[in-house]
Amino acid sequence: MDIVFIRDLRVDTVIGIYDWERKIRQTVIFDIEMGADIATAAATDAIKDTLDYKSVSKRLVSYAQESEFQLVETLAERCAEIILHEFNVPWVRLTLNKVGAVSAARDVGVIIERGQRD
């Protein structure tokens, strides 16, 4: 299985459990690896034959900007579901960083893997 990836996808969203977090937008950062077979796309050189990372990025940005989850776990899970179901991806590894959530750390977050990896 080949991997199509997106790194450092930044989105401002409402995320957090504290009252003050519900009133502001915070930046979350996605790093995404998606299982794909790129052989056909490589042979045809046609965007219709590949996993379009721009389309995936636009969909996740739109979704995350509109969301208001309390937990990064929930946002990560919902975004993984979008990738798997809307883009027909068999496997995804998604890292979601919440920058500045812990003052002594650069960032914190979750890494999830969903689907079947060959």
Domain ranges of the chain: 2-115
Which pLDDT belongs to residue 4? 97
Question: Helix, strand or coil for residue 55?
Answer: helix
Torsion angles phi and psi, residue 65, rounded to 5: -65, -35
Q: Which amino acid does the sequence have at 36?
A: A
Which pLDDT belongs to residue 71? 97
pTM of the complete model beyond 0.75: yes
Dist. CA 34–CA 32, nearest whole Å? 6
User: Catalytic site residue 98?
Assistant: yes
Which pLDDT belongs to residue 74? 98
CA-closest candidate to residue 9, choices 64, 66, 68 = 64
Which pLDDT belongs to residue 106? 87
Active-site hit among 23, 48, 58, 98: 98
- Which parts of the chain sit beneath pLDDT 70? none
Which pLDDT belongs to residue 46? 95
Q: Does domain 2-115 have CATH number 3.30.1130.10?
A: yes
